[in-house]
Amino acid sequence: MIENEEYSLIHSRELKIFKKFDTPPNYERNQNYTDFGKWINNLPLKNNNTAVYSFDGQKKSNPNIYVGVLDLEQPKKNVQFNANAMMSLRLEYFFRTKKYNEIDKLSKISTKPIPYTDYVKGDYSYTKYMQYLIYYLENTNSNTIAELLKPVSIKEIQIGDIFFQKGNIKSHAVMVIDLAKDKNGNKIFILAQSYYPSQDIHILSNPSNDLISPWYIAKEGTLLTPEWRFLSSDLMRFK
């Protein structure tokens, strides 16, 4: 993780996304957030020296690929990996904002659908929610997640969008958690992911451009992240 603030856009002591990462020169954050985007951008971060851990307590082997860790409880089973982590964030948002009916809607795409409100039976504690999250993610896959998404142009990218790639063997997704643009409308963004096995959701560095890392340039073509290669055409938005 980058700790040298003299040459970095990263403030190691800050524990909010929008405070931890400066924008490069000539770029400013776009304040026109959706409710989901605003929630994402205000998520708390763990202390700077906190490592990414898998569900079974193992430290992620390549610490140089991330620059921050979201301060969210991780399920104690191997369920929050790859694209599933995007659903973790989506459900967490609906839980935190008490939009329980929206979680019920998401349950319809599950391979074993049980509405959240039926599952918890009036117990809206976080402990019960985590039990439901595990159940939901156990019965979610890339095919069901794809049903919730629609393609969006890279020119229209916004916080909360995801780059989603569904394969026959492996699938992956990363989420846009911050966004900025210059006076000409050129956009840059920051990404978060989980990988395999299930692990803490973390903020990615940019392996292709140290000068603006962790920001990525929004452009047509290939998007190279530390552990996956996406295309701009993989950009999706929740319906």
Q: What is the pTM of this model?
A: 0.94
Cis peptide upstream of residue 24 (ω within 30 degrees of 0): no
pLDDT in tens, the chain (239 residues): 334 444 589 998 899 998 999 999 999 997 778 999 999 999 999 998 799 999 999 999 988 999 999 999 999 999 999 999 999 999 999 999 999 999 999 999 999 999 999 999 999 999 999 999 999 999 999 999 999 999 999 999 999 999 999 988 889 999 999 999 999 999 999 999 999 999 999 999 999 999 999 999 999 999 999 999 999 999 999 99
- Burial (CB < 10 A; 0-12, 13-18, 19+), residue 111, is exposed
Phi, psi of 201 (to 5 degrees): -75, 130
- DSSP conformational letter for 65: G
- Burial (CB < 10 A; 0-12, 13-18, 19+), residue 11, is middle
- Give the whole-angstrom CA distance, residue 239 versus residue 106: 11
What is the residue range of 220's domain? 1-239
Domains held by the chain: number: 1
- Give the whole-angstrom CA distance, residue 192 versus residue 133: 19
Helical ranges in 76-120 per DSSP H:
84-96, 100-107, 116-120
What is the DSSP pairing of strand 187-193 with strand 222-225?
A: unpaired
